[in-house]
Amino acid sequence: MSRIVGIDLGTTNSLVAYVDDKTGLPRVIPDRDGQVLLPSIVSFTREGVLVGAAAKRQLVRRPQSTVYSVKRLMGRGYDDVKDELGYLPFTVLPAEGIVKIQIEGRDVTPPEVSAIVLKSLKERAEAHFGEPIEKAVVTVPAYFNDGQRQATKDAGRIAGLDVVRIVNEPTAASLAYGLQRIREGLIAVYDLGGGTFDISILRVKDGIFEVLATNGNTHLGGDDFDRAIVLALLEDIRAKHRVDLGRDLEAMQELRLAAEAAKVRLSAEERTALTIPFDDFTYHREITRAELEALIGRLVESTIAPCRMALADAGLAPADIDEVVLVGGSTRVPLVRRRVQELFGKMPHSQLNPDEVVALGAAVQAQILAGGITDMLLLDVTPLSLGIETLGGIVSVLIPRNTTIPTSAREMFTTSVDGQHVVDMHVVQGERELAKDCRSLARFELSGIDPMPAGMPKIEVVFLIDANGILNVTATELRSQKAAAIEVKPTYGLSEADVERMVEDSFTYAEADVEARLLIETRNEADTVITHVERALAQGRRLIGDDEHASIVAALTALKDARGSTDRDRIREATTAMNRASEHLAELMMDAALKGALASRRADEIMEK
């Protein structure tokens, strides 16, 4: 029996888990440094590709070549992501139905970027088990359409992982909580992560899960909380320092990171301070939990309507729900917990780490598939209706949304013109009446139909959704016997050739071996220190004497020299020496910033009186 791991490929963070043979319990796998969450961030540097925390450190330095939140782009077309582009510092271009990201003069697709994240998790698992890992269960938001699921599978293939099952995240979360042990009950899974919000209503009966309804918003999460804070900070900076940092990419990334860190602290504390040194000034302010709640209140509130819609779809009232499960890092925000508890009138499950619960559930699913757990079954639903465009652009639905999968449906169609021997088939997904308002999944031609009067041909269209939620469409003209059948790949997927090329490319990335990567990281750290020291010298020259200034400049020159070499130890030593030489200046500057902030607050208070 080959081992299958469970992977949560998240918008913000990704992680890998497995079921421990001894205890039968799912466990997450940490990296060498004990970190469980791998930031879903990839940075393309001239020397090689960085992933995770190393890439996250590049957000400020190389915003244009550091890709984050790529899950928002997976399997999507340019029109789908237009609204997103203003917030992404890297360049996104349209490309044959999908989007491509342009980095350092070359193009990469979202599945290639995700593959780099998956590969890192695969290597982490391999290091843990000391054996090759080739199979995984990967989770996706319940709202992912066919193209997005396909793109996720492609990412697995590029990374050298056979994605044996795609599972909806909320389904995985209920498995992690072992809710199959309830004899019968209704579960609401509220999942607010970094970039997506999902609400799912599940029924569990005799160990079998059934998804009754799903709803949500693929563009709502902790990233939006951060953005709301950043906007408030920008306004504050404009008022206090008379500068607009809105167009300064580096400054915006600094603000984003500081805003997120403050938000996280405010989940545990009532108030917190923000201090951000910029080139010309240091920004400082305090923010309270109440202020945060005022900023994000509307965003949190906007999760409630989808909850009510999902309940209505399932024919239920909030009070019918027996269990509420919280998933996603953003459910640590106290306001979120409060609102969910108010809506359902009961305490949500939050015993498991909300960042890990989906990966843990994926591991349970993996164990079921590997044959290690035999008393559980999983049923999922298709999140959106699937149909064919017919005369006049009207959609004929073959599979309505919330149908339990795997499933199949067939319907008969015919021609509208005499002697017609070609029929255009247009497969769409969505809830709207007209095809133009739905998502176009695929177009294909059924040709070779014998000439017949209009209405005579019998064209049978079959939709088949497999257990992963992936759709196959076939069309056959029955009357002419010479049946033509066509299998449809979603428009948003990648071609076989694309995937093969990407697999090859991914080996090229792998050539940046461990030593090279460590060198890059060491150099990057040196660069960060150099930038900070140069900034400190420019801003804080008057705070120090000539001798101290001279020794800092000497250390700086030595570090710049060392940085150019390939000797990692030498760079590291020079960095440490630089830190030591500039420590005192950094302290003086921090003091000055705090004093300045206090003084301006006192001035504010005086003015208020």
Residues within the interface to ligand AMP (CB under 6 A): 10-13, 193-194, 221-223, 260, 263-264, 267, 328-330, 332-333, 355
Q: How far is the CB of 504 from ligand AMP (least distance, A)?
A: 31
Q: Which of 397, 312, 369, 383 is nearest to 135 (CA)?
A: 369
Can you tell me whether residue 200 is helix, strand or coil?
strand
Per the rule left: phi > 0, alpha: psi between -120 and 50, beta: everything else, 207 is left
Of residues 146, 191, 355, 356, which has the active-site annotation?
191
Toward ligand AMP, which CB reaches closer, 41 or 98? 41
C-alpha span between 478 and 417 (Å, rounded): 18
- The CB-of-517 to ligand AMP minimum distance in angstroms stands at 24
Q: Taking CB positions, which residue lies at the least distance from ligand AMP?
A: 222
Which CB sits closer to ligand AMP, 10 or 75? Answer: 10
Given 169, 254, 355, 527, the catalytic residue: 169
Nearer to ligand AMP, 37 or 441 (CB): 37
Residues with Cβ < 8 Å from 397, sequence gap 6 or more?
A: 385, 386, 387
Instruction: Output the 3-class SS for 203-242.
Output: EEECCEEEEEEEEEECCCCHHHHHHHHHHHHHHHHHHHHC
Between CA 609 and CA 222 the distance in angstroms is 37
- From 126, 113, 164, select the one nearest 470 (Cα to Cα): 164
* Shortest Å, Cβ 539 to ligand AMP: 30
Active-site entry in 56, 71, 119, 263: 71
All residues at 6 or more sequence positions from 8 whose CB lies less than 8 Å from its CB, including other chains? 14, 15, 16, 17, 138, 139, 169, 172, 356, 358, 359, 362
- How far apart are the C-alpha atoms of 212 and 215, rounded to whole Å? 11
Smallest gap from residue 269 Cβ to ligand AMP (A):
10
Contacts of 186 (CB under 8 A, 6+ apart): 201, 202, 203, 204, 212, 316, 320, 321, 322, 323
Task: Write the DSSP symbol of residue 198.
Answer: E
Smallest distance, ligand AMP to C-beta of residue 197, A: 10
- Taking alpha carbons only, the member of 303, 398, 392 closest to residue 342 is 303
Nearer to ligand AMP, 194 or 387 (CB): 194
d(CA 319, CA 415): 50
Is 375 catalytic? The answer is no
Integer Cα distance of 15 and 27 in angstroms: 11
What is the nearest approach in angstroms of ligand AMP to the Cβ of residue 307?
A: 18
- Measured from the CB atom, the residue of 237 and 335 that comes closer to ligand AMP is 335
Closest distance of CB 135 from ligand AMP, Å: 24
Least distance (Å) between residue 223 CB and ligand AMP: 6
Collapsed DSSP state (helix, strand, coil) of residue 418: coil
Residues 58, 45: contact at Cβ < 8 Å?
Answer: yes
In the bound state with ligand AMP, the residue whose beta carbon lies nearer, of 80 and 356, is 356
Task: Find out whether 476 and 484 touch, Cβ atoms under 8 Å.
Answer: yes
What would the DSSP string read from start to end of 286-304? EEEHHHHHHHHHHHHHTTH
Q: Closest CB to ligand AMP among 111 and 194?
A: 194
Token pair 């796998």: residue: 29
Does 71 participate in catalysis according to the annotation? yes
- Nearer Cβ to ligand AMP (261/394): 261
Which residues are CB-neighbours of 13 under 8 A, at least 6 positions away?
Answer: 37, 38, 39, 40, 194, 329, 355
* CB-nearer residue toward ligand AMP: 3 or 289: 289
Instruction: Count CB neighbours of 393 within 10 A.
Output: 12
Q: How many CB atoms sit inside 10 A of residue 504's CB? A: 10
Q: Give the SS3 label for residue 92.
A: strand
Nearer to ligand AMP, 361 or 430 (CB): 361
* Shortest Å distance, C-beta 302 to ligand AMP: 16
- Provide the minimum distance between the beta carbon of 14 and ligand AMP in the complex, in angstroms, as a whole number: 8
- The secondary structure of the chain in percent helix, strand, coil, rounded to multiples of 5, reads 45, 25, 30
Catalytic-residue membership of 458:
no
Active site residues: 8, 71, 169, 191
